[in-house]
A and B are shown apart, each in its own frame.
Chain A
Amino acid sequence: MDLSLSPAEREFRDAVRSWIEANHPGREPDSDAEVFEFRRAWQRALNERGWAGLSWPTEYGGAGATQVEQAIFFEEVARAGAPSLANVLGLAMGGPTVIAHGTEEQKQRYLPPILSADEIWCQGFSEPESGSDLASLKTRAVREGDEWVVTGQKVWTTYAHEAKWCMLVARTDQDAPKHRGLTYFLMDMEQDGVEVRPLVQITGEAEFNELFIEGARIPHENIVGGEGNGWPVAITTLMHERAGLAFALQVRVQVALRELREDIQAAGVADDPLIRQRFGRLYAEAQVLRLTAYRGLTRATPGPEGSLGKWHWAEVNQSLTELAMDVVPDDPRWQYRFLRARANSIEGGTTEILKNIVAERVLGLPRA
């Protein structure tokens, strides 16, 4: 056991830190459209340095970094308040899925523009009738020659309005058992059969979209992982979502906790014993979240344990914003975070589904 950074890791951290310092583009602009271009420029700068696909293999334009190096990178990004990356779904989920299940041609075709943010990715999994029960999804793809024709509806599609490619899971065999009749496609978003409508959420903004798909066409070669094999490929995407994003998210919790600490002092409630108890509890929880995330880094591929971290993160982030509401109820920044945090226990797998996964796949309890 050694919880300090090795000399090589320290060197990497220093390199990241000084590079970010020299290249930090400043505060993100306020308007949605400007934010996106701002993040795209930041991703391109990182990609030129070789760090956009930090964890990807070097043969596909990545840096082949260890998981600890990725963790260090996230910590440094959060520490410096650097912007998010424009193509986060492509980098954290789409790319790793293509690397794991795609053909060599697909890797050559799709991976470089993910890194350069020339092609943005979105995720077409959830449907209005298929949330937690994802495998029951109804969006249908029917083969016509070398193409598949898709009809259906997707929802909660982040970045759909900016995206070139959609990780689309559709039903290709109506007669097969529900998990076996699915196929994973890469669907071109720039076509007539795809309509994107923004979905306004409780914060008042529209981070997500609804996707109406009416006769959209996908070439057969855009299947990832083989026809009828969509479920395990989709699981790969979800595991990367929970493991990869969870680490970045727990780092943000640490940053938010530091801000809350300052706000508690500024609000003059630092001597309130109830606030102190709640802060102490939250601080310990946040440390546990960080430590368990680090313990998970030694695993080679993301597994069901990632579900535990994502669920815990949602809980901690919600408690944090709840405490903030009691400390500075009128602060619009915390009001926004409090509202946004309500989705944490729903997005990327509800806490209830994650508990099912932990119970069944980690503890070996019988299926519900």
Chain B
Amino acid sequence: MNFDLSDEQRTIKSTAREFLAARYPLAEVRRLALEEERAFTDAQWDEIVSLGWPDITELGTVELVVLAEELGYALAPTPLPSTWAAGLFGASGGRGALVVDGVAADAGYADVLVDWDGARVDGADVEPATSLDPTRRLFRVTGGTREPLGGDVERARLQVAVMNAADSVGVAERALEMAVAYAKERKQFGRAIGSYQAVSHACAQMLLEVEGARSAVYWAAWALDHEPETAPLATACAKAYASDAGRRVPRAALQVHGGIGFTWEHDLHFFLKRGEANAHTYGEASEHRERIAALNL
């Protein structure tokens, strides 16, 4: 019984943290999100491919979660999660996108589309759709043909839910770090606002939720690889909890920042938006709680 990452997993994590910090500083995230049509460049995608990241799913769900969490932490705008999602449903080759309820992130520039039932989608109409989260482009996908790929759809659904939950963990962790840093530095009434319990207790609550979400996500990822009978329940717990943490923590972080956190020029709103968008992806928290109830009651 050991929750620690293996040496290899730790290396994946630290390599990703360094690479993403160098390539996706928040100024670049902002530029990509607001100015770049696809929110990424070909050079960026090629570099990610050369790192072998699209194939990380072959190593295991824990490895996938390690990397997905780092993408959320960096807030990296990249079609990589969509590519993973399509791959998990059995559609590989180039960039992918996963269509759920007629909507797919990154579908406008994907090489392969797959739907929630594990069928390959060809010849569909793909139109841009509005997205709350500017780091991820959404598209409405209609028509086209469906060809079942024969993959393990149930497992793929769980895996993409856990992958998305991991992104929320990263988003929440970074928002917590920003809130704590600001609470140490911002002074009002002659002292750091982090010395006031109304602020410090809010930060402590954020830590509880970030660490709790991380525990649940790693449990689910591990179960998917090693204890499949637990995976549906663990995934429902992880997604429900991390979806909530992924939006509650940035909201609280914004409150700690006060007015500056509400401005366009501050980066916090990107975290708020990504965490909120994640919570509405691959099942609402309430649907996952219902699933927990269904598995128990």
Contacts and interface: CB of A to CB of B under 8 A. Distances in A.
Interface stretch (A118-126, A196-204, A279-287, A338-346): A279-287
Interface string B1-44: 11111100100000000000000000000000000000000000
A5 B2 CA distance: 9
Contacts of A367: 195
Interface residues of B, number: 50
Interface of B: 1-6, 9, 62, 180, 183-184, 191-192, 194-197, 200-201, 203-205, 207-208, 211-213, 215-216, 218-219, 222-223, 226-227, 234, 236-237, 240-241, 286, 288-294, 296-297
A191 interface: no
A260 to B, nearest CB: 10
Main secondary structure of the interface of A (DSSP, over half): helix
A356 B207 CA distance: 12
Top 8 A-B pairs, shortest CB-CB distance: A280-B289, A359-B200, A291-B215, A276-B293, A280-B292, A365-B194, A288-B212, A358-B204
Contact of B197 (A283, A356, A362, A363): A356
A261 interface: yes
A9 B1 contact: yes
Contacts of A366: 184, 191-192, 194-195
A3 B226 contact: yes
Contacts of A363: 180, 200, 203-204, 207
Given A277-B293, A358-B204, A359-B204, A1 B9 contact: yes
B219 A291 contact: yes
Given A284-B240, A292-B215, 4 more contacts: A1-B2, A283-B292, A287-B234, A295-B211
A358 B207 contact: yes
A352 B297 contact: no
Contacts, number: 156
A2 interface: yes
Interface in A348-366: 352, 355-356, 358-360, 362-366
A276 B204 contact: no
A352 B197 contact: yes
Given A280-B288, A365-B195, A1 B6 contact: yes
Nearest to A66: B1
Nearest to A3: B222
Nearest to A360: B200
17 contacts: A1-B222, A2-B222, A261-B296, A280-B292, A283-B237, A283-B293, A283-B296, A287-B219, A288-B237, A291-B3, A295-B3, A312-B212, A362-B204, A362-B207, A365-B195, A366-B192, A368-B195
Given A3-B3, A366-B195, A288 B215 contact: yes
Interface in A257-286: 261, 264-265, 270, 273, 276-277, 279-281, 283-285
A254 B291 CA distance: 19
A198 B156 CA distance: 59
Given A4-B227, A358-B207, A364 B293 contact: no
Contact of A308 (B200, B211, B213, B297): B211
Nearest to B237: A284
